[in-house]
Copies of this chain bind each other. A is one copy, B any other.
């Protein structure tokens, strides 16, 4: 892992610098992907020299790995919260859409970091996809299918429902450049409009 970062007894300054590096790295990696990013760029943005950055992290890959590791917990949380015992399944799924859209709005760089990794074939994250992520999706897909069988929501392919929620919400983070360019002045209300639109779409889809 890292030299200083691995130490359990970090000073405040060490923690601050580690976080500054991670923040800068998130910026750079989320934009250019792993191979397209350079340590120089990250160091410069974090306000350190390159060797100094490499004092805190052993390698470029170590920074990237830590970012991805941290990301996945955050990433799975909204879906984890989907409650199988919910009274109103339609509302429960809509609430999930809202959580996911909020994440795209508040953490667009995290979304792009993930998108970049998947786009490149997920070489550094495949185990997490086929492991924890797939398990969670399988579990929640079964919940959704159960709701459908009970007639609490309209019959719907649970996996593609989840994919469509991911796609439509993350789109606003990953393709923000395009969305903003096309909306122009309308960009200002983009997220509220998106929230309204997606609420309507998924409500109409799911209402039994």
Contact = CB atoms under 8 A, between A and B. Distances in A.
A198 interface: yes
Interface centre among A121, A137, A163, A200 (most CB of B within 10 A): A163
In this complex, the interface size class of chain A, counting residues with CB under 8 Å from chain B, is 35 or more
A175 B33 contact: no
A31 interface: yes
Chain copies in complex = 2
A31 B120 contact: yes
Chain A interface SS verdict (over half): helix
A197 B205 CA distance: 10
Contact of A175 (B118, B182, B186, B196): B118
5 contacts: A115-B175, A126-B181, A160-B198, A164-B201, A201-B201
